[in-house]
Amino acid sequence: MVKSREELEKHITLKEEERKWFDDPSSLPLLISDNLMSLINPEDPEDPVRRQFVPDCRECEHSWTLDPLEEVSHSVTGRLIHRYEHRAALLTTDRCFSYCRHCFRRRFTGTDSGAISKEEIDQAAGYLSLHKEIYEVLLTGGDLFTLSDDRLDYLFSALKNANKNLVLRLCTRAIVSYPQRFDDSLMKLIEKYSHDGPFMLMTQINHPRELTEECIAAVRKFLSIGIPAFNQSVLLKGVNDSADTLEELCIRLLYNRIKPYYLFQCDLVQGTDHLRVDVAKGLEIERELRKRLSGLAMPQYTIDLPQGGGKVILTHQYLDGVCDGFYIFTTPDGEQRFYPQEGRKEN
Ligand SMILES: *Cc1c(COP(=O)(O)O)cnc(C)c1O
Ligand code: SF4
């Protein structure tokens, strides 16, 4: 595990902007697991894994906000965020096995808030039992699987008791950063609770290189006990901002039975400007991907709008307008097509 400048310099030669981070570090700590460190090519200063995990002094530029999704004002208990009517997000811990420099929850991640306590679990469960309109809960953070097996046991039990109909999303990057975590005792625990109601595995894999054999084997453990897997990538400059990289990633994800779910536009969070891709470029990539990928392999390009505006799908528009009772479309190949409005007869 790499936690200090000295340990990091045993692996790579720091660039100017990386070295300067240590003079005035941002609030998000340095932590890179051995698994991830081994994926970084020390010869390549622009390595896509390095860009995600090695800190950079540009993180300390004080632009934008720390809470663009206004999660604090949507919190209904100490740890539960109820932003959308039928689903809620529970912050199970601020800890991760490695910290991503693009983390959108850096107001909270790595801040010493620690693992969710039993009292906080009870509070969240109390709210969920009174709000049966919530049928999905995202167990997120931080990384859920930094919790001990005992605490996970308490958490699953409390939530499943609060509402029998809940779908629980297990949001984790540990399948990439620390796949060893998914040992027999943890998988037995998860399997035990999966009989009471569905779990969904939600991964974050941003570059094809992260799909290692160990990662795929960890995902397989979930699949083999009937838990489907979905991936949420973040569109990141110098990491995956090309149709070729994302095409390879999505095809390999699908082949390994992980459905590409979202491709997120980087949130407007402080310290991530240098990793953000312009929306116009993102839309160009989305349009190209839609030509190359099957419907199953295609993620939805999505932006979480600032000031808590919520998630919105971004996609190239093929409908140009309406004229004389017909909708006018431009096909992906650039040709025009007409489709009648209701009631319009052929003449
Ligand atoms: C993204 C998000 C969800 C889940 O949204 P989906 O579109 O269903 O994936 C739920 N709660 C919060 C607070 C979120 O940010
Ligand atoms: S794994 Fe998630 S919560 Fe943890 S640092 Fe990365 S983006 Fe943030």
* Domains identified in the chain and CATH numbers: 5-313 (3.20.20.70), 318-347 (no CATH)
84: enclosing H helix or E strand: strand 80-84
pLDDT of residue 347: 66
Residue pair 261/300 in contact (Cβ under 8 Å)? The answer is yes
Residues with a known catalytic role: 83-84, 87, 96, 100, 103, 105, 267, 304, 311
Residue 261: which pLDDT band, with cuts at 50, 70 and 90? very high
Q: Is the pLDDT of residue 171 over 90?
A: yes
Sign, CA torsion 287/290/291/292: positive
Give the residues surrounding ligand 2 with Cβ less than 6 Å away. Answer: 96, 99-100, 103, 105, 109, 141-143, 173
Give yes or no for residue 138 CB within 6 A of ligand 1.
yes
CA of 143 to the centre of ligand 2 (A): 7
Higher-confidence residue of 173 and 333: namely 173
Mean pLDDT is lowest, of 59-63, 66-70, 194-198, 320-324, for 59-63
Q: Is the pLDDT score of 221 beyond 90? A: yes
The pLDDT, as a whole number, for residue 62 is 75
Provide the pLDDT for residue 344.
85
Confidence band (pLDDT; 50, 70, 90) for 14? very high
Asked if 172 and 145 count as a contact pair (C-beta separation under 8 A), the reply is yes
The model's pTM is: 0.96
Given this model, what pLDDT does residue 236 score?
A: 98
Percent of the chain with pLDDT over 70: 100
The rounded distance, in Å, linking the Cα atoms of 272 and 56 is 10
Q: Is the pLDDT of residue 278 over 70?
A: yes
Q: In testing the pocket of ligand 1, which one of 84, 128, 264 has its CB within 8 Å of the most ligand atoms?
A: 84
